[in-house]
């Protein structure tokens, strides 16, 4: 009898287990995907005048939902808190996030939606480039919690670049236009729409080649919980179907931007001309390969007024201007190879040399010529022009794609 009871109990347990498995296998199919977005970043995700959600990420999300035959629900979310809110199950996925190695430690990502490209944007002819030498002491704006903030804080801030973070991109752009920051790290599409293609943005442009780094990532994808591999598989399957049908490319074409032209990002195969921000009939410097040719520098202030104090004060201003100009163009005083010194009165040479030697190391004195000049502009008593080496020419390193 005891054996009979055990046998019956065992059969009952097996049947019960079979029922539970069957229930799991027969669970109701997914009917909705809740996507987190931050609708403040056109052209990726924003609201139009009627309050409707528009943008690249919105179109891609709706297409994926249609492919999976589910309802798309959009959940407004502060971007910096999105990963924590995802883990708290406030929504199912984060729509449009750079899939960086740091973020992949916390969550999973779908296959890539589109490439990610980052550029430094600054005033035209500022001489700035995306190098720590050029940006040391400069103020670079980034968005709080973004991959670009992570990159700038890790790679540039320790070298003396001042990183300023903003919650909103329009706040950042207003600061750039006002001169409160010197440059910003941005993607191609958003900065063109928000600044470069506008009237107030005509003084700004991409400078240097695309910026790359581990913290930036190379593509935008959909973030999902590591505990939800099924959703990741569904999204990847739907994305592949959209690519096969051509719908994915059709959506991208409405937003995809060409990378800046070679001349804009400083094509180093030919001369690079850097006109002064003050309207003058010559460039403040011209770069050919790794050589930088600097126009005549006078002892004048930012308003083009001759500094007071005579020849010594003017020469100090000349050297200060030279130092700053070299820094802007990825060079330095110890890379100057030749200078031409111009004096109205050669009796001032001893005084000028005293100032001059205070800026150059004795072991790295440039070659130099001294000329007696009858008159100099603004009534100046001393002027100088130089030739210097810069960092090695930057390669073309062009990539196509939209940024995030």
Instruction: With a cut of 80, say whether residue 76 has pLDDT above it.
Output: yes
Dist CA 12 CA 24 (whole Å): 19
Dist CA 316 CA 320 (whole Å): 6
* Same domain assignment for residues 201 and 248: no
* Among candidate residues 253, 281, 311, the one where a domain is terminated: 253
Bridge partner residues of 162 (DSSP)? 139
* Same domain assignment for residues 291 and 309: yes
Residue of higher predicted confidence among 204 and 256: 204
Dist CA 127 CA 129 (whole Å): 7
Instruction: With a cut of 90, say whether residue 75 has pLDDT above it.
Output: yes
Quote the pLDDT of residue 329: 80
Residue 402 lies in a domain: no
Domain range for 176 is: 118-211
∠ Cα 263 265 269 (to 5°): 55
% of the chain with per-residue pLDDT over 70: 85
Domains of the chain: total: 3
Quote the pLDDT of residue 267: 46
* Same domain assignment for residues 109 and 143: no
pLDDT tens for residues 245-302?
A: 999 999 999 886 555 554 344 444 568 777 765 667 888 888 888 899 999 999 998 7
Which SS3 state, helix, strand or coil, does residue 373 take? Answer: coil
Report the CATH number that the domain containing residue 157 is assigned in CATH.
3.40.190.10
* Same domain assignment for residues 338 and 199: no
Residue 400 lies in a domain: no
DSSP 58-104: HHHHHHHHHHHT-EEEEEE--GGGHHHHHHTTSSSEEEEEE--HHHH
User: Which residues have C-beta within 8 Å of that of residue 113, sequence separation ≥ 6?
Assistant: 57, 60, 96, 219, 220, 221, 222, 239
Residue 23 lies in a domain: no
* Same domain assignment for residues 167 and 139: yes
Bridge partner residues of 371 (DSSP)? 342
DSSP 168-208: SHHHHHHHHHHTSSSEEEEEHHHHIIIIITSGGGTTEEEEE
Report the CATH number that the domain containing residue 329 is assigned in CATH.
3.30.1330.40
pTM of the model: 0.63
Residue 129 lies in a domain: yes
∠ Cα 274 276 281 (to 5°): 95
- Residues 282 and 295: beta-carbon distance below 8 Å: yes
* Same domain assignment for residues 384 and 357: yes
Phi, psi at 38, each rounded to 5°: -120, 90
pLDDT tens for residues 329-377?
A: 878 999 999 999 999 999 999 999 999 999 999 999 999 999 999 999 9
Quote the pLDDT of residue 25: 43
* Same domain assignment for residues 190 and 282: no
Instruction: With a cut of 60, say whether residue 222 has pLDDT above it.
Output: yes
* Same domain assignment for residues 105 and 137: no
* Same domain assignment for residues 132 and 104: no
């Amino acid at each position: 009898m005891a054996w009979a009871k055990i046998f019956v109990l065992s059969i009952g347990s097996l049947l019960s287990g079979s029922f539970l498995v069957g229930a799991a296998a027969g669970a109701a199919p997914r009917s909705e995907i809740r996507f987190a977005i931050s609708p403040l970043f056109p052209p990726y995700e924003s609201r139009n005048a009627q309050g409707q959600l528009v943008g690249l990420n919105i179109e891609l999300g709706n297409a994926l939902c249609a492919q999976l035959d589910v309802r798309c629900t959009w959940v407004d979310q502060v971007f910096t808190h999105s990963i924590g809110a995802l883990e708290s199950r406030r929504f199912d996925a984060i729509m449009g996030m750079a899939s960086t190695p740091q973020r992949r430690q916390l969550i999973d990502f779908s296959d890539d939606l589109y490439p990610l490209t980052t550029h430094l944007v600054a005033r035209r002819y500022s001489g700035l480039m995306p190098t720590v030498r050029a940006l040391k002491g400069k103020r670079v704006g980034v968005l709080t919690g973004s991959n670009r903030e992570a990159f700038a804080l890790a790679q540039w801030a320790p070298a003396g670049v001042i990183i300023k973070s903003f919650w909103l991109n329009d706040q950042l752009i207003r600061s750039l236009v006002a001169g409160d920051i010197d440059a910003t790290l941005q993607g191609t599409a958003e900065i063109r729409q928000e600044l470069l293609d506008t009237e107030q943005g005509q003084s700004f442009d991409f400078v240097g080649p695309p910026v790359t780094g581990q913290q930036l990532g190379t593509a935008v994808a959909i973030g999902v919980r590591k505990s939800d591999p099924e959703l990741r598989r569904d999204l990847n399957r739907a994305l592949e179907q959209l690519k096969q049908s051509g719908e994915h490319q059709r959506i991208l074409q409405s937003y995809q931007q060409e990378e800046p032209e070679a001349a804009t990002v400083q094509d180093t195969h030919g001369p690079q001309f850097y006109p002064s921000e003050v309207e003058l009939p010559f460039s403040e410097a011209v770069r050919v390969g790794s050589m930088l040719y600097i126009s005549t520098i006078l002892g004048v202030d930012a308003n083009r007024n001759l500094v007071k104090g005579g020849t010594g004060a003017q020469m100090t201003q000349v050297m200060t201007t030279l130092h700053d100009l070299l820094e802007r163009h990825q060079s330095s005083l110890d890379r100057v190879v030749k200078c031409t010194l111009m004096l109205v009165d050669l009796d001032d040479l001893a005084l000028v040399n005293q100032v001059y030697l205070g800026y150059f190391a004795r072991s790295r004195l440039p070659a130099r010529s001294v000329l007696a000049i009858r008159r100099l502009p603004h009534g100046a008593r001393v002027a100088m022009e130089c030739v210097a080496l810069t960092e090695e020419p930057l390669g073309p390193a062009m990539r196509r794609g939209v940024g995030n």
